[in-house]
Amino acid sequence: MKSIDNYKKILLVDDDIDLLEQNKILFESLGLNIITADSAKEGLIQFMKELPDAAIIDLIMERPDSGFVLSHKIKNTEHGRKIPVLILSSATYDTGIKFGTTTPEEKAWIKCDGFLNKPVVIEELISKLEKFVN
């Protein structure tokens, strides 16, 4: 049976400090080690320093595309190509725009492995991460 035990260290990036702390507690309840950053810039620094097993990045931070930019930077590193990078967003609720990575076109311009909607549903997070366990 698949497990998320392979994810010893997860980078969580969100500029909303309350949500960052709430999600950190939620993820730690699963036994995960969470490294946090409250900006895309800090997220990249923590990624390079910690080399996490996965990254979960908020879409809209300093700029409306900060999450896309950070994900792209991570996925363009050797380590980043080996780990799942998920984008967390409330944009679908706010704008009606639904992002995905299911078509070749989406995969070509969105450099992430999947999306999670806010608020995080822990079962959905586990399901997304389990897809990447070997």
Establish if 84 belongs to a structural domain: yes
Contact 3, 133 (CB under 8 A): yes
User: How many domains are there within the chain?
Assistant: 1
Helices 40-50 and 66-75 pack at an angle, to 10 degrees, of 20
Establish if 3 belongs to a structural domain: no
Establish if 2 belongs to a structural domain: no
Domain that holds residue 86: 9-130
Establish if 52 belongs to a structural domain: yes
Establish if 114 belongs to a structural domain: yes
Establish if 4 belongs to a structural domain: no
Q: What is the CATH number of the domain that holds 101?
A: 3.40.50.2300
Record the tokens describing residue 111, joined without a space.
């450099």
Sign of the dihedral through C-alpha 128, 126, 8, 71: positive
* pLDDT one digit per residue (tens) for the chain, 134 residues: 346 777 889 999 999 999 999 989 988 988 889 999 999 999 999 999 999 999 999 998 999 889 999 999 999 999 999 999 999 887 555 555 555 566 666 666 678 888 888 888 888 888 888 888 65
Question: How many alpha carbons fall within 13 Å on the CB side of residue 130?
Answer: 9
- pTM, two decimal places: 0.85
